[in-house]
Amino acid sequence: MTVHCPGCGTPAVDVGRYCTGCGRPRDDAPEVAAPLPSAQPTPVRYPLYAEQPPPAPPSWSQPTETGLPVVPGPAPRPDPAPHRAPRRRRRLLAALLVLGVVALVVALAVTLAVTLGGDDDPSGSERTDASSGDPADLTRRAEASAPTQDADSVDIASGETTTYDASNLLDADPTTAWRVRGAATGTELTFTFEEPVVLTSVGLVNGYAKTSVDSDGTTFDLYAGGRRITAVTWLLDDAPPVRQELDETREPQTLDLGAVTTRTVRLRVESVTEPGAGPAARDTTAISDVAFTGFLD
C-alpha cells in the first residue's frame, strides 16, 4: 500500500526523513544514526524548501590524494636573492683592483718623468742649489753683451763667414770668439742671468784659441798672432771687485770666488799684450770663452 504524506497527500518516497512535497518530517521515518565522517568532503545539499540561501562553496581546493582538503596558505615571498652579497663583494674587489692598477701606473709615470725628464731648462744645465752637492756649469744660463765687436771676416781654411758676437763667449767652442780692434783696455763685457745665482768660480780663455791652415799649407795661429789679455777684473753685483792675473796659455783659466750671490757679472779688460808676429799677426783683442760655475740661488 502506498503511504501518503498526512500534510499534503503527496505519495511518500522511501528516501529521506522529509516529505518531498512540503518538507514535513515523516512520522514513520526510522531514526538514522549520523554518518561517520569520511575522508571525502560532504557534498553540498540544497533543501527543497530552505528559507536561507545555500551556503557558499568552500574556498579551498579540491581534496588531495590523502582525501583531505588543502587550505590555501599565505602567498610565498620572493627569493631574497641569496647571491646578492657575494656579487657585491666581487664588484667591490674588482673596483679596488682597478684603483690599485691606476695608482701603480701613475706612480710609474711620475717616476719615469722625474728620472728621464730632468730639467725643462733649454740650456741643458742641471738645476742645483748649495745643499745639492757639487756646483754645476751655469754658463749657458747667462746672456752676454758687449759695447763693440770686430767686423765679420772669412775663415782661412773653409772660406766661411766668421762673426765675433759676444754670444760666442758662452758656446764652449774655442774656435769662436768675441773680438775687437786694438787693445780693448777698459772694455767691459756684461753677463746677465735670468735669476740670482751663487757663483763659486769664474774663468775665461784670454785670447783667440784658434788655428787654421790655408790651401797652401800655411798655419795661422790666431792666439799667438793677436793680443792676449794679461789681467781682468770681475764685478759681481754687491760683492767687491775681484782682479785676476792671467798667463799666456790658450787653456781656460779659472778664479775661485768662494760663494757670491749675483745676477749680473761684468768682465773688465785691464791689460793686454802687444800684437803677435807671423802670418796670423793682428792688432786685435779676443776672448774665446768664459765660464761660470755655481748653484742656483
Query: What pLDDT score does 98 carry?
Result: 86
Q: What residue segments make up the domains of the chain, in order of their start?
A: 136-296
Mean pLDDT by groups of 10 residues along the chain of 297 residues: 73 70 68 50 51 55 52 58 64 84 82 58 46 86 97 90 96 96 97 97 97 92 96 96 97 96 98 94 97 94
pTM score of the predicted model? 0.58
Q: Identify the bridge partners of residue 290 per DSSP, sorted by sequence position.
A: 204
Nearest Cα neighbor of 124 from 113, 112, 138 is 138
Which residues, 6+ apart, have CB-to-CB distance to 163 below 8 Å?
Answer: 152
Contact call for residues 236 and 230 (beta carbons, < 8 A): no
Q: How many CB atoms lie within 10 A of CB 279?
A: 13
Residue type, 113: A
Phi first, then psi, for residue 12 (nearest 5°) are: -75, 140
Query: What pLDDT score does 199 carry?
Result: 97
Choose which CATH entry (2.60.120.280, 3.20.10.10, 2.60.120.260, 2.30.30.100) describes domain 136-296: 2.60.120.260
Q: How many CB atoms lie within 10 A of CB 204?
A: 22
Query: What pLDDT score does 125 carry?
Result: 42
Q: How far apart are CA 297 and CA 295, in angstroms?
A: 6
